[in-house]
Structure 1
Amino acid sequence: MTAQEHHLAVTRTARYFQLGDVSAQTRQVWVVCHGYGQLAEYFIRHFAVLVAADPTLVVVAPEGLSRFYLENNTNGRGRIGATWMTREDRLAEIDDYVHYLNQLTDRILAAASGNVRVTVLGFSQGAATVSRWLTRARFKPVRLVLWAGVFPPDMELPVAAQLLRGLPVTLVAGTQDPFVAPDKLAMQQQFLKKLGVEPEVLRFEGNHTLHAETLRHIHSRSSLADFA
């Protein structure tokens, strides 16, 4: 006898971290999504230098809904990471994080002024996460940053084209990133060009990580009046 698969929507608690307080003086909000096996508490620390230099900036780092031990959990002290989804029951997991990210940004943006500018950054697995989410988001960002990750190639092309119309996209990768070889980066550029996007490409000396100077560059670009 074959078991039947069912789904039940439940309420659960999601965690996020925030740098800065949202107010009428907030000019920019960055929503930044971590990669596979990371935790938002540590991921958001990379952005502290931006908020320290710009009190009108708020950075929000949601955490993936599924956590797991990254290594042997001896005496309950194993390192823990989070993930946005796996291939198992993937469509339900995508729906869950889309609803979560929409609720979170609704809360954050409700406390800001109507002309606040939102930059969305996804690192590694977070790049595909934010891309899928933004097709169903209730706001339009001023910039999409895909860092050491790709726009999901399985997304329906009309949906992808609608999202990317008029949206500046920045691709970022370290020169020694083992997951983003030059040929993969070039393929991503060509894929986006087919969707009508000419992405900005930023490289830095480093591997699969964030880079402070590159973050400062993106922040300075997002502060320009042409993104107001």
Structure 2
Amino acid sequence: MNAIEKEISYTATNTYSTLNNLHPNTKNVWLVFHGIGYLSRYFIRLFESLNKEDNYFIAPQAPSKYYKGDNYRRVGSSWLTKENTPAETKNVLRYVDAILTSEKLPEHAKLIVLGYSQGVSIASRWVASRKIHCDALVMISGGFPKELSREDFTFLTDQTKITHILGEKDPFFEIEKVEAEKVRVQEILPQIEFRTHPGGHELDPKTLINLL
């Protein structure tokens, strides 16, 4: 028996979610990447407390869906796994490109790219690979991709606001690993600011109000 794994390209369709209206007075456009287990239409609700006139949110949807729990009622999703990661990453980034092309974002609004948990890996890879001159990059409770280096972000200026936020009660918070990771990430992104909030592995909208 001679088993061979082959590869094929095809056109796929995926959804994404938006919150509020994009208009001439919109100040901030947020591209927000959810964590593992979410669907974008639920994740985007976390931002409902932020000013509706100033902020427009776009939440891409991770392509891989699965049932959560044993009753097969709730559905979650995942961006990437360790299986065929380079190819899957390219697929996801092309999908994000398509969203931005479709949305036709105005030049007057600030662009904020946010990743939560597993979404940090997509947000940071997209910014690095596409050389996105965003006004802010926000990473919440997620790990920074191992393959990215300082050279991948040399196009960013000192004006780019980069923030990492972590919950003090995060069950994945191991102080030694966190401190080592902070050193590594700061070497890559020297202007990064590290913040904490009193909660756990969660996105706290209150920490985003004075971000810019």
TM (norm. structure 1) is: 0.85
Considering only aligned residues, what root-mean-square deviation do their CA atoms show, in Å? 1.8
For the residues of structure 2 that align with 1:164 and 1:171, how far apart are their CA atoms? 16
Report if the CA contact (8 A) 1:164-1:195 is conserved: no
Report if the CA contact (8 A) 1:68-1:81 is conserved: yes
1:204 to 194, 197, 202: 197
Cross-structure match for 2:179: 186
Deviations 1:14-45 (A, max 9, x none): 11111112233222100110111111111111
SS of the equivalent of 1:118 reads: strand
For the residues of structure 2 that align with 1:196 and 1:79, how far apart are their CA atoms? 38
Report if the CA contact (8 A) 1:29-1:116 is conserved: yes
Report if the CA contact (8 A) 1:165-1:197 is conserved: no
Cross-structure match for 2:89: 94
Report if the CA contact (8 A) 2:22-2:56 is conserved: yes
For the residues of structure 2 that align with 1:156 and 1:138, how far apart are their CA atoms? 13
Change (3 A) 1:133 1:196: closer
For the residues of structure 2 that align with 1:130 and 1:35, how far apart are their CA atoms? 11
Amino acid at match of 2:9: A
Are positions 1:46 and 2:41 aligned together?
Answer: no
Report if the CA contact (8 A) 1:165-1:196 is conserved: no
Cross-structure match for 2:61: 63
For the residues of structure 1 that align with 2:38 and 2:86, how far apart are their CA atoms? 22
Higher helix share: 1
Q: What's the offset of the Cα at 1:5?
A: 2.2
2:108 to 104, 115, 119: 115
Are positions 1:150 and 2:143 aligned together?
Answer: yes
Q: Which stretch of structure 1 is more off in the superposition, 150-159 or 21-30?
A: 150-159
Are positions 1:162 and 2:181 aligned together?
Answer: no
Please list every run of 5 or more consecutive structure 1 residues that lacks an aligned counterpart in the other structure. 222-228
Report if the CA contact (8 A) 1:134-1:163 is conserved: no
Identity of aligned residues (%): 28
Amino acid at match of 2:54: T
For the residues of structure 2 that align with 1:8 and 1:103, how far apart are their CA atoms? 20
Q: What's the offset of the Cα at 1:196?
A: 4.7
Amino acid at match of 1:194: E
TM (norm. structure 2) is: 0.91
Amino acid at match of 1:187: A
2:99 to 86, 104, 108: 104
For the residues of structure 1 that align with 2:28 and 2:189, how far apart are their CA atoms? 26
Report if the CA contact (8 A) 1:34-1:125 is conserved: yes
SS of the equivalent of 1:69 reads: strand
